[in-house]
Amino acid sequence: MYKPKKIEEIKHLLNHGGYTQMEISKSGRLLLELFEHSKESGYLSSRVLDVINKNNIYLLSDEERNQVWDIINTLPAKPFDVYVVHDAFHSHPSYGNDLRWQYIHQMVLISKSNMLSFLLSQILNREVEITKYSEDLHLEIAKSEYAIC
């Protein structure tokens, strides 16, 4: 679920900028932290869309702004609710295909990332390196029709 008005505001800020602050705000620190996690894990969460505002947009580099555009460009045309209970999720049947596509897209991004190494390193409080058996797994996931089985 996303708020179309917020997305339009972010698009405007990405194109035209915001205010430059002398001191980094709490939301600015969170934004920087999310991008730092992204660099370490190789995966940028759409959580950044909740954090970006006119007071912290200046903190983003051109590359980071492009990453935000990538997220915006993969949003479904119309927002919809996803209901989550434990390890199951569902939406209104009208949005089933959008949900399927979003799921596949997220699995592609995660398979391209270093998320497993990142999470294990966080849990164990030491550097953990996981070797991927396939560097092309994301291509197979992208071709799948029903990754939600």
19-51 pLDDT, tens per residue?
888 888 899 999 999 999 999 999 999 999 999
Q: Are residues 96 and 137 in the same domain?
A: yes
pLDDT of res. 89: 82
Asked whether 42 and 112 are in contact (CB, 8 A), the reply is yes
Residue 53: closest CA among 74, 30, 72, 35: 30
Q: Are residues 70 and 97 in the same domain?
A: no
Structural domain for 33, as ranges: 1-74
pLDDT of res. 149: 52
Q: Are residues 66 and 106 in the same domain?
A: no
- pLDDT for 62 beyond 80: yes
Domain boundary among 28, 49, 74: 74
Amino acid (1-letter code) at residue 19: Y
**Structural domain tally of the chain?**
2
- pLDDT for 148 beyond 70: no
Q: Are residues 49 and 61 in the same domain?
A: yes
Please report, for the chain, how many H helices and E strands are present, in that order: 7, 2
DSSP label at residue 22: S
Q: Are residues 107 and 56 in the same domain?
A: no
Q: Are residues 35 and 95 in the same domain?
A: no
Q: Are residues 40 and 83 in the same domain?
A: no
Q: Are residues 49 and 94 in the same domain?
A: no
Q: Are residues 70 and 80 in the same domain?
A: no
pLDDT 10s digits, 106-131: 999 999 999 999 999 999 999 999 99
